[in-house]
Amino acid sequence: MSNILPKNLNVKRFQTPPTFPETSRDFKKAAGQAVHISKALEEAGYKKASTEIKDCHTCRDVHPCSSGEHFITAQVYTCKNPVCPKCALMRMQDRITEIEPYVLRSIKEGHKVFFLTCSIPNEQYLPSVLKKTKKHFSNLINSPWWKGKIIGGAYQIETTFNKKENTWHPHIHGVAIYEKGCWIDQPEFVERWLKITGDGRGFHVKRIHLDTARYKLREVLRYTVKPSEIPFDRFVELWRGIRKVRMFGRFGILNKNHRDFEAIQKQKRDKCICPKCEEKILTDITIRQIYKLNGTWEIKSITYNSPPSEITSVGTSKAKRKTAFAFP
């Protein structure tokens, strides 16, 4: 199974970031959480990060297709902050669109797929326990035992806070695909995890079926943090601990298929074809939209782009060089 990319890949994503349902309940909830996070960072003196989270996903440029029914997102202002709930929602939609077809096809072809959760004991210092968690999981998926039975998967680290013990609890959610004919029992996973960590807190495994695939992927990819479960006065500590840490990763066959998926998306962009109706995208028209609090986008400006110009340099001296623009 060198490539599990579906032959007729029906993807809704055109570019990164994708056009997501900003009128949905999830996005409105994320926008409300972003206000509180922004306030916490501002009070701690991080004004730049606060402003970026507040203004995240409030402005975008889109291109209409020739049918006039669809708008394809060309560019969205995003802060890409690891604690921003709006960016987290965008990343989840993006990754589910990419990974779900691979998981479904692998199940149909006879590969068993499982959902996993693993963690180590909580600690009061977040960077320390986060580093240990990543190191132990990396040792697990790079071990000969793992590679001999599992061909690929994806994972994301979620960080929560234990208010009673005042400790941080980063843990890993993941989805992995077995080699055909392989199966590993829960006790064997726990034994391996304890052998690698020495004091692993737990390792939970549950099989994924066709009807539960999308729900489990949503569980894996939904959160890096849950803002509602983090105390207001600990957000700055959380932001400092995870802002330079990679919280998502792929391994094995899904890593290779990610590159194939990106190549297909590039071909569609180069052809300027709308992924929804297969009509031509009018790239010579750019519409700038501003997000309103009622969940709608308001048109700020419409720009008619000039055709690409041919630039020729005249003169030999670098200081006296003149540039002539020749429009076709």
pLDDT surpassing 80 at residue 12:
no
In this predicted structure, what is the pLDDT of residue 276?
66
Q: How confident is the model at residue 269 (pLDDT cuts 50, 70, 90)?
A: low
In this predicted structure, what is the pLDDT of residue 124?
92
In this predicted structure, what is the pLDDT of residue 11?
32
In this predicted structure, what is the pLDDT of residue 3?
44
In this predicted structure, what is the pLDDT of residue 258?
67
Give the separation between CA 248 and CA 243, rounded to whole angstroms. Answer: 13
Give the separation between CA 319 and CA 235, rounded to whole angstroms. Answer: 52
Exposed, middle or buried by CB within 10 Å (0-12, 13-18, 19+), for 151? buried
Exposed, middle or buried by CB within 10 Å (0-12, 13-18, 19+), for 58? middle
Kindly state the tokens that stand for 3: 């490539």
In this predicted structure, what is the pLDDT of residue 328?
26
- Taken in order 174, 179, 182, 188, the sign of the CA dihedral is negative
Give the separation between CA 231 and CA 210, rounded to whole angstroms. Answer: 37
Mean pLDDT of 266-276: 68
Q: What is the pLDDT of residues 108-141, one digit of tens each?
A: 888 888 988 999 999 999 999 999 999 999 999 9
Mean pLDDT of 216-244: 82
Give the separation between CA 59 and CA 300, rounded to whole angstroms. Answer: 9
User: Contact at 8 Å (CB) between 151 and 178?
Assistant: yes
Claim: this prediction has a pTM higher than 0.95: no
Q: If we measure between CA atoms, which residue out of 65, 59, 101 comes closest to residue 79?
A: 59
pLDDT surpassing 90 at residue 168:
yes
Q: How confident is the model at residue 260 (pLDDT cuts 50, 70, 90)?
A: low
**Single-letter residue type at 90:** M
User: Contact at 8 Å (CB) between 26 and 92?
Assistant: no
In this predicted structure, what is the pLDDT of residue 49?
87
User: Contact at 8 Å (CB) between 115 and 206?
Assistant: yes
In this predicted structure, what is the pLDDT of residue 1?
46
pLDDT surpassing 60 at residue 221:
yes
Q: What 8-state DSSP symbol labels residue 148? A: T
Give the separation between CA 152 and CA 263, rounded to whole angstroms. Answer: 20
CA torsion angle for 217, 220, 225, 231 (degrees, to 10)? 100
Our CA angle for 116, 118, 124, nearest 5°, is: 150
Q: How confident is the model at residue 8 (pLDDT cuts 50, 70, 90)?
A: very low
Give the separation between CA 300 and CA 164, rounded to whole angstroms. Answer: 48
The DSSP H or E segment spanning 241 is helix 235-242
Q: Mean of the per-residue pLDDT values for the chain? A: 77
Cα 236 to chain centroid, rounded: 22
Kindly state the tokens that stand for 244: 């330079």
Domain ranges of the chain: 82-284
User: Contact at 8 Å (CB) between 264 and 111?
Assistant: no
Q: Which residues pair with 114 in a beta bridge?
A: 176, 207
- Dihedral pair phi/psi, residue 316, rounded to 5°: -105, -30
- Percentage of the chain beyond pLDDT 70 is 79
User: Contact at 8 Å (CB) between 208 and 115?
Assistant: yes
What is the CB neighbour count within 10 angstroms for residue 147? 14
Mean pLDDT of 37-60: 86
In this predicted structure, what is the pLDDT of residue 326?
28
Q: What is the pLDDT of residues 82-94, one digit of tens each?
A: 888 888 887 887 7
CA torsion angle for 140, 146, 152, 158 (degrees, to 10)? -30
Q: What is the pLDDT of residues 145-160, one digit of tens each?
A: 998 889 888 899 999 9
In this predicted structure, what is the pLDDT of residue 24?
67
Give the separation between CA 326 and CA 308, rounded to whole angstroms. Answer: 10
Mean pLDDT of 203-207: 86
